[in-house]
Amino acid sequence: MNLLLKHITLPLANFTLEVDAGIRSRVTAIFGPSGAGKTSLLDLIAGLRCAQSAFIQLDDRVLTDTAKGFFVPTHQRGIGYVPQDLALFPHLSVRQNLLYGCKSGGAADPLFSFDHVIEVLEIRSLIVRGVTELSGGEKQRVALARALLASPRLLLLDEPLASLDAPLKAKIIPYLTRIRDEFRIPMLCVTHDRFEALALADEIIVLVNGQVLQTGPVLDVFNRPANSDVAKIVSVETLQAGSIAGLNEGLATVKIRDVTLTALAPTTGAREVFVCIRGEDVILQRDAAVASSVRNRLSARIVALRTEGALVRVELDAGFPLFALITRPACIELALREGEPITALIKTPAIHLVPR
């Protein structure tokens, strides 16, 4: 997939959306706080809105070129769109909703055949029902299936998990990854949730107030924010790939390189995970012998100290790079110096595991 978004300018209520980006990865997250212009960007790509200026090209087909006054209407773009409110047609049954976008005579590609799609999304039992009789998670799957059945060349997802509670989210994520792997369809996924971005996307575009602040592979952006604005939004100081070595009574033993940590077991069965630890959840302690309830005690060495306002960002080597955020008085009291050994404590619930 190659989606080109060039010279995009669209004045919105409080700022102007300005994007210049090329998207090549299979799943790309457009990441940013609410009201950053993310949905407007999807609307532009789908052709539901006109930009002041824009050049949009999907693979070898130009979709919008305002300089030449060229605009492919939405219904000829072949771009699937699942909006945040799902927009299931309330006057039609589930089956009629699903068939709305089907090409007459069936899809050319058997991959997108009716039977295959409803099988992958496990909605066969729902098709005789009315749309209003579905639960939140069922609606989500029907909306995804309806978009897929139109055999789109690109799928736009607007906050696919935002309206669902945590257990439902955990149930829907595997369907999204299944769509990604089974249909090999490129996806552009708007989200303001960093764990969602981690679970789904290969690459990420950080969008704040209509401006692209950073683009790149998810891990790169999360580990090396381009500036403090991105860091604030991403707000995970430590992010490492790890694997679950064992599960026991709701707790998971996670290995990052040679270090073993205890975390709460994830709701999905994934073994390969991203381990996320926020800087403010890491406690530093001089004396390793003091007893406490904290499960994770890591012997570390201080690599660097960096003052950030009232806080000090402490970079540690605990067998993997670990960041702690502590106050300046605490740093002085503990007399922290680069190169010295220290013990880092992390409470079990402070370690987030995201399936990868």
Partner 1 sequence: MTSEEWQIVWFTAWVSALSTLVILPFGLALAWILARRDWLGKSIVETLVSLPLVMPPVATGLILLKLFGRRGAIGGFLHDQLNFDVIFTWRAVLLALSVMSLPLLIRSARVAFEEVNPRLEQIARTLGAGNWRVFFTITVPLAARGIVAGMILAFARALGEFGATIMVAGNIPGKTSTLSLTIFQDVQLGQDAHAFRLLGVSVVLAFAAVWFSEFLLRRRKK
Q: Which residues bind partner 1 (CB under 8 A)?
A: 43, 46-48, 73-81, 83, 85, 87, 89-91, 100-101, 103, 146-147, 150
Q: Is the Cβ of residue 96 or residue 243 nearer to partner 1 in the bound state?
A: 96
Whole-number minimum distance, CB 103 to partner 1, in Å?
A: 8
Distances (CA, A) of 59 to 157, 234, 305: 19, 30, 46
Whole-number minimum distance, CB 111 to partner 1, in Å?
A: 18
Pairing relation of β-strands 79-82 and 154-158?
A: parallel
Whole-number minimum distance, CB 92 to partner 1, in Å?
A: 8
Strand order in the sheet with 311-317: 282-285, 341-346, 296-308, 311-317, 321-327
- Residues 215 and 96: their CA atoms lie apart, in Å, by 39
Whole-number minimum distance, CB 328 to partner 1, in Å?
A: 50
Q: Is the Cβ of residue 29 or residue 131 nearer to partner 1 in the bound state?
A: 131
Q: Is the Cβ of residue 101 or residue 137 nearer to partner 1 in the bound state?
A: 101
- 11: CB partners within 8 A, 6+ apart: 17, 52
- Residues 108 and 222: their CA atoms lie apart, in Å, by 40
- Residues 79 and 43: their CA atoms lie apart, in Å, by 11
Q: Is the Cβ of residue 76 or residue 248 nearer to partner 1 in the bound state?
A: 76
Q: Is the Cβ of residue 42 or residue 254 nearer to partner 1 in the bound state?
A: 42
For residues 6-42, one letter each, b for 16 or more C-beta atoms within 10 angstroms of the residue's C-beta and e for the rest, the string is bbbebeeeeeebbbebebebebbbbbbeebbbbbbbb
Report how far Cα 333 is from the mean position of its chain's Cα atoms: 39
Whole-number minimum distance, CB 131 to partner 1, in Å?
A: 11
Q: Is the Cβ of residue 85 or residue 308 nearer to partner 1 in the bound state?
A: 85
